Amino acid sequence: MTTLHVINKTPSESSALRDSLIAMSDGDALLLIENGVYATLPAYSEHFSRLTANVQCYLLTDDAQARGLNDLNQDFCGIDYDGFVELSCRYSKVVSWF
């Protein structure tokens, strides 16, 4: 069964991102929300180097825009809350990391 992993903390304020990457399987997806969107800063790209091409990466644009992250990282697909809900349906479950 596939999983949508939702991360809402920066790499500095919690080990949520690190732990989620340990827990990811091929075919899963990763969604950054709230302070989690800061992980799309290019300086943090090494965190995602372990991920295979079979893990899709998303970020919530509402949270990115709120924080002035307008030059979106090309490795992440921006979605809105409707997209968040659609992803929650497409994957068999949602796991939150905070």
Partner 1 sequence: MRENKKSFLIINRKAPYGSSAARDALDVALTFSVFEQPLSLLFMDDAVLQLLPNHQANTIGQKNLSANLAMLEMYDIDQLYVCRQALSERGIRPDQISLNITLLDTHAIAALIKQQDQVLSF
Partner 2 sequence: MIFSIVVTGAPYSSQASASALQFSRSVLKLGHSIHRVFFYADGVHSGSALASPPQDESNIPAEWSELARQHQLDLVVCIAAAVRRGILDENEARRYEKKGHNLAADFTLSGLGQLVEAGILSDRVVTFGA
Whether 9 and 36 have beta carbons less than 8 Å apart is answered as yes
Using the rule CB under 8 A, is 86 a contact of partner 2? yes
Question: Quick one: tokens of 7?
Answer: 């991360």
Site membership for partner 1, residue 75 (CB under 8 A): no
Task: Please compute Rg for the chain using Cα positions.
Answer: 12
90 binds, among its own copies, partner 1, partner 2, none (CB under 5 to 8 A by kind): none
Interacting residue with its own copies among 14, 78, 84, 94 (CB under 8 A): 14
Regarding 62 and contact with partner 1 (CB under 8 A), the answer is yes
Q: Which residues contact 89 (CB under 8 A, 6 or more apart)?
A: none
Q: Tell me how far apart the alpha carbons of residues 13 and 53 are, in angstroms, rounded to a whole number.
A: 27
Q: Which residues bind partner 2 (CB under 8 A)?
A: 6, 8, 33-35, 62, 80-82, 84-86, 88-89, 93-94, 96, 98
Q: Which residues bind its own copies (CB under 8 A)?
A: 12-15
